[in-house]
Amino acid sequence: MQHPSSRIDLVAPGSAWLKTYYFIRAVVSIVWIALAVLVGRTSLPIAAILIILYPVWDALANFVDARKNGGIKANFSQAFNCVVSLTTAACIAYGLGIGMKPVLFVFGVWAILAGAFQLVTGVRRWKSYGAQWVMILSGGQSVLVSGHFFKKAVASPPPGIEAIVPYAALGAFYFLLSAIWLTVKDARKRSVHAAG
């Protein structure tokens, strides 16, 4: 008979949600990329909507995730991320009336801030869930990728929505990798627990 204390080795209570969350974020990013490539490159109105929705979705996703993991007050990095992402969406909506240069500059600033907040969230969750190295790496890379947007912002002529696609693709990859990594990690824990 298993001793009750052996249940400590089981997966963390919120792990199932976190895997679902990462999978959803990966799928949404992939859908966004498909729409950007297939429709956004030829339709300016659709491209504008997609560009605005990108940070809006990030804010919504972080809000829901924070609520599922102890609430907004307990997740300050995600709370700040929500505010920054919604502010970014508003700035992008305004910038689109001027052109892509200010939009790409705003995206660059957002990549720095959102990446930093994601990195902090990953570090904070390491003790509870483990396997957060992917999110930490993703957050750090987001900060570094900001230079890509600043470079594109000063290009002449500036690119369109296609400049954001590589950034979205990296996000999709990291979220999918995180979901798979947690799934494998939890399966191993269950296997060890059952064998014990």
pLDDT in tens, 20-75: 999 999 999 999 999 999 999 999 999 999 999 999 999 999 999 999 988 898 89
For residue 181, the model assigns a pLDDT of 85
Contact 53, 90 (CB under 8 A): no
| Distance (Å, whole) CA 187 – CA 175 | 18
Split at pLDDT 50, 70, 90, the class of 3 is very low
Average pLDDT, the chain: 87
What pLDDT is recorded for position 4? 41
60 CB-contact burial (10 Å; exposed 0-12 / middle 13-18 / buried 19+): middle
State residue 14's pLDDT score. Answer: 64
Cα 77 to Cα 21: distance, rounded to the nearest angstrom? 17
Whole-number pLDDT of residue 193: 61
| Torsion from C-alpha of 6, 193, 12, 57, nearest 10 degrees | 180
**DSSP letter at 38?**
I
Annotate 91-117 with three-state secondary structure.
HHHHHCCCCHHHHHHHHHHHHHHHHHH
Q: At 128, is the pLDDT very low, low, confident or very high (cuts 50, 70, 90)?
A: low
Q: What angle do CA 68, 138, 173 make, to 5 degrees?
A: 85
